[in-house]
Amino acid sequence: MAVSLINLAYLFSTILFIYGLKGLTHPRTAVRGNLMGALGMLIAIVATLFNAKIASYEIIIAGLVVGSAIGTLLAARIRMTAIPQIIALLNGFGGGASFLVAGAVLYESIYLNENFSLQFRISIAASGVIGAVTLLGSLIAFAKLQELISEKAINFKGHNIINAILFLIILSFCGLSVYKPEETIFYWIIVALSSILGILSTIPIGGADMPVVISLLNSYSGLAAVATGFVLNNNSLIISGSLVGSSGLILTQIMCIAMNRSLAHVLFGIGSTTEKMTTKDDDIYAGRVKSVTPEEVAMLFDVARRVVIVPGYGMAISQAQYAVRDLFLLLEKNGMTVEFGIHPVAGRMPGHMNVLLAEVNIPYEKLKTMEEINTTFEQTDIVIVIGANDVVNPIARTNTKSPIAGMPILNVDKAKTVVIIKRGLSPGFAGIPNPLFAADNTLMLFSDGKKAVLDIISAVKAA
């Protein structure tokens, strides 16, 4: 009877996971969806605690206390700009938990002298591979985002061949582990080699592709949970992991399309196949860049009727979203139509800009996708670009040798006037110059994102 009730609780939690995920597809229902998912996880955890195999709760309670303390500290202290690296870290923790649980179950089964089914053997090996790749790959992604190591792609000769050989060796040990699961050394060799593969698969990916990497690692963590669910014969874990894995993979594909990347290239850590550009910054910028003051920008609003704000990582790093909200409200109060143009990979994770703008209660209907906003730029009086670079770089349309060649961009250069707020002329993650900075209709406001927006607000009010 107890087992039936536990399975019923797992079924109910799974239903909550599915409806919670559906709720996350729209900002208006996202909070409710998040709460439903959290409730589903709570029910699954409580149901698991009633499992008859649990002999003692001391270690579980200790883990709960320590984990809750760490989670609370992170939630309270981490800034919104650091959310991408926290997500990468949490993805890694999920992968690490998967291969550790699988290893513990393997030892328990050996100790109890249980029979090893083929499903159990294969699932153990899969947990080791996917979990370890996810953990170390996520740690490398975290280190890149946190700037503990270089954000640039780190390539060395023959690294793809080494990855392929390493993968074949891992598969060989997986076969040995399936054949002789009682030899636990095979399992830990799988974990060790897969950890190396996780590192080698992530270091060749540069900062510009981090949104894709984070989404992909999220999918990996779900697949690791699925494998561990088969190890434990836990239907709730299998279904929830499948939801995470499939949704992460779909999002990864969307990100790849948005960045003109091949999913296969990301999966195998292959960088851009385009040739390195030889154009120097001086060839593009020399004598062409026009600098303005906040007061001059404020004067532009005297005749403007339509304004589009394009946020980028510069808005995130300067914590300018609150100032941007105040500017938005001020311009709308003065009779202007103001909208936001959101590139799907602006920032460092999928939906980064949406999260920041939702934090300051910008109405969702004001956030326009790239497809929606691109049709309106020719009728836009002023575009204000805050820290975005590669996602507005017209080289993507004109230079086939560019690392971002073919990448869909926000066509801000078609607006009547473009004001770019940036500290300097430094390139974006792709490491290439941006001709938009020197365009005839572009004005550069060199400043910190938050300070520049606050100065514009003061100037508009003074005028």
User: Catalytic residues, which ones?
Assistant: 390
Contact between 211 and 350 (Cβ < 8 Å): yes
Residues in Cβ contact with 97 at an 8 Å cutoff, skipping those fewer than 6 apart: 131
Q: What three-state secondary structure class fits 148?
A: coil
Strands 306-311 and 442-446: unpaired
Residue from 343, 338, 333, 336 nearest 308 by CA? 338
Question: CA 102, CA 123: separation in Å to the nearest integer?
Answer: 8
Residue from 82, 152, 49 nearest 430 by CA? 152
Question: CA 234, CA 94: separation in Å to the nearest integer?
Answer: 16
In this structure, what are the phi and psi dihedrals at residue 149, rounded to the nearest 5 degrees? -130, 170
Question: CA 53, CA 371: separation in Å to the nearest integer?
Answer: 54
Tokens 């007061």 label which residue? Answer: 295
Question: CA 291, CA 309: separation in Å to the nearest integer?
Answer: 19
* Residue 145: count of CB within 10 angstroms of its CB: 24
Tokens 């709570």 label which residue? Answer: 42
What would the two tokens of residue 207 be?
A: 């900062």
Q: What is the CA radius of gyration of the chain?
A: 25
3-state secondary structure 85-118: HHHHHHHHHHHHHHHHHHHHHHHHHHHCCCCCCH
